[in-house]
Amino acid sequence: MANPIRVAVTGAAGNISYSILFRLASGAIFGPDRPVHLKLLEIPPAMKALNGVVMELNDCAFPTLAGIDITDKAETAFDGVNWAILVGSKPRGPGMERGDLIRENGPIFVGQGKALNKAASDVRCIVVGNPCNTNCLIAMKNSDVGNDRFSAMMRLDQNRAQSLLAEKSGRTVKEVTNMVIWGNHSNNQYPDCENVRIGGKPATEVIGDKEWLLGDFIKTVQNRGADVIKARGASSAASAANAALDHLLSLARPTAAGDWFSAAVCSDGQYGVDKELIFGYPLTSPGDGTWKVVEGLPMSDWAKGKFEKVLNELREEREFVKGLL
Amino acid sequence: MANPIRVAVTGAAGNISYSILFRLASGAIFGPDRPVHLKLLEIPPAMKALNGVVMELNDCAFPTLAGIDITDKAETAFDGVNWAILVGSKPRGPGMERGDLIRENGPIFVGQGKALNKAASDVRCIVVGNPCNTNCLIAMKNSDVGNDRFSAMMRLDQNRAQSLLAEKSGRTVKEVTNMVIWGNHSNNQYPDCENVRIGGKPATEVIGDKEWLLGDFIKTVQNRGADVIKARGASSAASAANAALDHLLSLARPTAAGDWFSAAVCSDGQYGVDKELIFGYPLTSPGDGTWKVVEGLPMSDWAKGKFEKVLNELREEREFVKGLL
């Protein structure tokens, strides 16, 4: 068997990680011939529960699970890892404003950014814990690891958008391509209904109902998280976990010709975004962990309004944490 | 793409199913070219939560997920299914005796056994909901589907035992083969330490510590469920889900030459077990859903004592529900 691939997961005793770890360990992500070594980070009060998760991982007798380390020190968790999936973050408490939440999470990602200096030279860091774009910005700015190694998750929004369009058009999800979620993983994200394609044709052509596309479609994607909580009585876990794994695989496998995927990465000014903001873009990857922003996509004035709104939100978030950058 | 494989899952809004459904839908179990149609059963009070799970399944945009039906009627859930995974059962309430639990669950499996008459002609039914052996017996006796189509899950115990032996011997789980869990998925199960092999040799030879093997090893496997609850603060879910999927795959793929797997099936008197008890045996399968009991395994007098104890427990369980058979 090949050398184990080393994957760190933070917030490892939480619900999203519970849906990530078993799929990682089962061989479903890196294949049946690639052993996986898990390095799991939690805060001290969650270590006992994490021990229970480790017992269950062992109880699966996965042939591809090469080892598990658990720790409450980020430096130990990230030591030598090839992938770091940063799931853990503080949830919003009662009466807490968005700005408070962002400021509360900041210090966690300062420390984790520094600790990523211990990772393998090929490390790729995926930030899932919310507010993921700004958490990613903080980690990146506090790390010596190259900016191109960081990304934040827009994939749950992309998958939700693709699924909705497939349902509306009566086509399969595979036929829905070229979906971009611009900007921030927040209620102000802009799911691009002008550039997405269904069966190779513009969705605006395939779905005659333009009012739905510009109205309910975008709102449904933006508010889907809250709708899942209402129905399930708990926030999205398995679907968020799946999105994190899809995000990882989109960096680890070549993008299909003509298609792209959505992730938030360090801007180099593309589409007029401030340099170094972690912004949701259309990306392609040759499958070696690197990526390129797809440039030159057209946008109507209406779309530009949505784009500016989410760009301003990310600028505001950056302002909240400027002392940490 | 091929015709969808139709899989029913009961207790579909519960924690074990939450860890089964996304792996089934992702293509990890039946492969990337075989679409899966999920048919999900819940009791009326859980339908809202189940709706939330369906939202999340859709939010994964799995290319292999061909469709999802949800219902609170077993006849609808099982209509035309190729596999039925019976996860749902009543949990033990405060002050409830084992006999009470068994009697409370009985009527559920009477109805589900009858409803399985609606399934496809190649249906295989896997009972996970506890007490799974006796629940399986009730379903089988109330169904016109052939007895050979029913099995109950011993695989979590098998996987736990393999993992423990791998850890103790410093070998990989793949090197631990020929593990039988005899009898009942209960504290009286007998994990066979005399016939299990490590790297092709008897475990008793590889692990010098016979006292551990006959004592702590067996006790640890028997009590592992309670130990996970203590650590995690919740009962085994992802590892139970994984065991159900391993069980399914052991029927859907050929058994490795010389090895076997553990599942509880309808006895034809093998090893002196009463005919029609659902008993944990060593099995092989050519991978078409059929199975054969591996006969003639030796047992010491000490092992025979363990075997008789668990056999008597299953006889007692049958007595509790004799009015339903």
Residue-level pLDDT, tens digit, chain A, 325 residues = 689 999 999 999 999 999 999 999 999 999 999 999 999 999 999 999 999 999 999 999 999 999 999 999 999 999 999 999 999 998 877 778 878 889 899 999 999 999 999 999 999 999 999 999 999 999 999 999 999 999 999 999 999 999 999 999 999 999 999 999 999 999 999 999 999 999 999 999 999 999 999 999 999 999 999 999 999 999 999 999 999 999 999 999 999 999 999 999 999 999 999 999 999 999 999 999 999 999 999 999 999 999 999 999 999 999 999 999 9
The answer to whether B249 and B29 have CB atoms below 8 angstroms apart is yes
Fold of B155-324: L-2-Hydroxyisocaproate Dehydrogenase; Chain A, domain 2 (3.90.110)
A278-284 and A261-266 strand pairing: antiparallel
pLDDT of amino acid A1: 63
Straight-line distance from the first to the last Cα atom of chain A, in angstroms, rounded to the nearest whole number: 42
Nearest Cα to Cα of residue B26 among A324, A37, A28, A236: A28
Report chain B residues whose CB lies below 8 A from the CB of A242: 22, 26, 60, 62
Report chain B residues whose CB lies below 8 A from the CB of A32: none
Mean pLDDT (chain B) is: 96
Nearest to B61 among A61, A173, A233 (CB): A173
**What is the C-alpha separation between B93 and A71, in angstroms, rounded?**
36
pLDDT of amino acid A91: 82
In angstroms, what separates the C-alpha of B226 from chain A's closest C-alpha? 11
In angstroms, what separates the C-alpha of B71 from chain A's closest C-alpha? 16
pLDDT of amino acid B92: 78
pLDDT of amino acid A2: 81
A117 DSSP 8-state letter: G
Q: With 90 as the cut, is the pLDDT of residue B132 above it? A: yes
pLDDT of amino acid A51: 98
pLDDT of amino acid A111: 97
Mean pLDDT of B230-239: 94
Nearest to A159 among B59, B167, B174 (CB): B59
Kindly identify which residue of chain B lies nearest to residue A242, measuring between CA atoms.
B60
pLDDT of amino acid B100: 87
* Domain range summary for chain A, segments of one domain joined by +: 5-152, 155-324
Q: Which positions of A are annotated as active-site residues?
A: 185
Interchain proximity B232–A53, CB inside 8 Å: yes
CA dihedral A146, A147, A149, A153 (to 10 degrees): 160
Report chain A residues whose CB lies below 8 A from the CB of B62: 173, 242
Into which CATH architecture does domain A5-152 fall? 3-Layer(aba) Sandwich (3.40)
E-assigned strand segments in A205-277: 261-266
The answer to whether B133 and B314 have CB atoms below 8 angstroms apart is yes
The confidence band for B96, taking pLDDT boundaries of 50, 70 and 90, is confident
Q: H or E stretch including B86?
A: strand B83-86
The answer to whether B37 and B83 have CB atoms below 8 angstroms apart is no
Q: What's this model's pTM, rounded to 2 decimal places?
A: 0.97
pLDDT of amino acid B93: 77
Q: With 70 as the cut, is the pLDDT of residue B1 above it? A: no
Nearest to B159 among A61, A160, A241 (CB): A61
Decide which of B281 and B95 is more confident: B281
The residue behind tokens 């009070």 is B45
The answer to whether B153 and B248 have CB atoms below 8 angstroms apart is no
- pLDDT tens digits along B154-206: 999 999 999 999 999 999 999 999 999 999 999 999 999 999 999 999 999 99
Strand partners, A152: A127, A264
Q: H or E stretch including B9?
A: strand B5-10
**What is the C-alpha separation between A156 and A241, in angstroms, rounded?**
9
The amino acid at A49? A
Tokens representing A171 are 């086509």
The answer to whether A23 and A36 have CB atoms below 8 angstroms apart is no
Alpha helix segments (H runs only) across chain B: 15-25, 47-58, 74-78, 98-115, 132-141, 155-169, 203-206, 210-212, 218-232, 238-252, 301-320
Tokens representing B71 are 């219902």
**What is the C-alpha separation between A188 and A218, in angstroms, rounded?**
10
Task: Say yes or no: do domains B5-152 and B155-324 share a fold.
Answer: no
